[in-house]
């Protein structure tokens, strides 16, 4: 039986990037928001506190930050914070719903080095039309597309992410055509509605089951053929299909992928090079692991926590847990190829990171779809 190299990824001396939820405020109420719980329970930092935090992040020699929320553009001081990022020798990205982007926003981006340091601004679009988009992101399609058009027309480095749920699987072809042909975006990415946070309260309505994953995954694979190099995914049905196919290939050929460490809880590697900060300054391994608080950026030493915090070390230590040693994986033919799934989703659904995820299990996927292999799918 092939055995994966179980050495964990190299731990950087400092995180390369930090995801900052700069606000818990949002002007929308998306049906799948995984951040809805912390938004309701935590308070935003002030401008001065955020500037202090950004200076600490810069002093730690972090190279990139991603500003998210909530909705980052609900903060009137957002460009003041961007300037602090620029002044502290970092680059940045913004994740937005697009609805608050105006001509004034575009003008603001053009001042100083704000545009030069902008890696990307990602707008969430979940449907090709208001009827589909608004099912997940109520009453926002026209405003989101208006913001997206402004960003595109002004040649900002804009990307679009579609979050796939039961609401929009049947619309994927129309969505790709709308974004890539009608609007002329160079590419689009996608993930899936995670059954956590608010997404958990309407799980049956939104979250994808194994049958939905196969359906969406095949549609997206076909779209990849139709739009070569223009549809990408780090998570969601398309990413899962790629992973499942690599598992099948590895089992068949004996050649293991080098994209992840097969056979242990190796998902994901983010905890070796990035951190999350919640809108009250709490430092977490990832914003999807928002209940594993390591400390607070205002009061604690970022690099000390990065190296020594038990919370993040526990996530990293998952690399040492072999799936074949986990009772519930006993007898599964895929244990030497699997990665156990996202620890963030697992933590929220099972209240532990020391277990495989339930929604990414390939054995369950095959069984639910009544197939023995993806070959031919």
Where do contacts with another protein occur on this chain (CB under 8 A)?
Answer: 10, 12-14, 58, 61, 63, 86, 89-91, 113, 116-117, 119
In whole angstroms, the minimum distance from the beta carbon of 116 to another protein comes to 6
Q: 137: which 2 tokens?
A: 């992101």
Which residue, 16 or 142, is less far from another protein as judged by CB?
16
At residue 160, φ and ψ (nearest 5 deg) are -125, 135
In whole angstroms, the minimum distance from the beta carbon of 238 to another protein comes to 26
| Bond from prior residue into 70 cis (ω within 30 degrees of 0) | yes
Sole residue written with tokens 């000390």: 304
In whole angstroms, the minimum distance from the beta carbon of 86 to another protein comes to 8
Sole residue written with tokens 């196919």: 245
Which residue, 13 or 258, is less far from another protein as judged by CB?
13
In whole angstroms, the minimum distance from the beta carbon of 119 to another protein comes to 7
At residue 344, φ and ψ (nearest 5 deg) are -65, -50
In whole angstroms, the minimum distance from the beta carbon of 92 to another protein comes to 9
The neighbour count for residue 363, using CB atoms within 10 Å, is 14
Which residue, 89 or 367, is less far from another protein as judged by CB?
89
In whole angstroms, the minimum distance from the beta carbon of 84 to another protein comes to 13
Which residue, 223 or 305, is less far from another protein as judged by CB?
305
Strand partners, 21: 68
For residue 79, which of 51, 98, 43 has the smallest C-alpha distance?
51
Which residue, 89 or 255, is less far from another protein as judged by CB?
89
Which residue, 137 or 274, is less far from another protein as judged by CB?
274
Strand partners, 123: 96, 160
Residue 9 vs residues 2, 16, 240, 257: alpha-carbon distances, Å: 19, 14, 21, 15
C-alpha 91/C-alpha 278 separation (Å) is 19
């Amino acid at each position: 039986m092939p055995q994966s190299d179980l050495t964990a990824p190299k731990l950087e001396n400092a995180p390369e990037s930090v995801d900052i939820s700069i606000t818990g405020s949002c002007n929308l109420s998306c049906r799948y928001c995984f951040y809805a719980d912390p938004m309701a329970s935590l308070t935003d930092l002030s401008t001065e506190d955020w500037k202090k935090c950004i200076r600490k992040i810069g002093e730690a020699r972090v190279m990139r930050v991603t500003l998210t929320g909530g909705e980052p553009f609900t903060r009137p001081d957002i460009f003041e914070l961007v300037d602090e990022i620029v002044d502290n020798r970092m680059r940045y990205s913004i994740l937005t719903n697009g609805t608050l982007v105006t001509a004034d926003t575009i003008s603001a981006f053009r001042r100083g080095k704000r545009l030069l340091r902008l890696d990307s601004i990602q707008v969430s679009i979940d449907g090709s039309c208001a009827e589909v988009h608004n099912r997940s992101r109520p009453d926002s399609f026209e405003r989101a597309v208006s913001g997206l058009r402004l960003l595109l027309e002004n040649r900002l480095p804009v990307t679009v992410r579609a979050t796939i749920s039961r609401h929009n699987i049947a619309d994927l072809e129309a969505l790709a055509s709308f974004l890539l042909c009608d609007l002329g975006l160079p590419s689009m990415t996608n993930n899936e509605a995670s059954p956590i946070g608010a997404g958990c309260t309407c799980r049956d309505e939104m979250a994808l089951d194994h049958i939905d994953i196969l359906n969406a995954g095949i549609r997206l694979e076909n779209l990849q053929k139709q739009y070569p190099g223009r549809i990408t995914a780090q998570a969601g049905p398309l990413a899962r299909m790629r992973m499942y196919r690599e598992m099948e290939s590895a089992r068949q050929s004996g050649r293991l992928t080098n994209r992840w460490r097969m056979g242990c809880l190796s998902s994901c590697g983010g905890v070796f090079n990035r951190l999350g900060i919640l809108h009250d300054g709490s430092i977490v391994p990832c914003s999807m692991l928002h209940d594993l608080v390591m400390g607070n950026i205002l009061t604690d030493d970022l690099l000390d926590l990065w190296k020594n915090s038990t919370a993040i070390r526990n996530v990293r230590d998952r690399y040492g847990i072999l799936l074949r040693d986990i009772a519930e994986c006993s007898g599964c033919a895929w244990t030497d190829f699997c990665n156990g799934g996202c620890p963030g989703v697992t933590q929220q659904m099972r209240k532990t990171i020391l277990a495989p995820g339930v929604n990414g299990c390939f054995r369950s996927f095959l069984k639910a779809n009544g197939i023995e292999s993806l070959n031919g799918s």
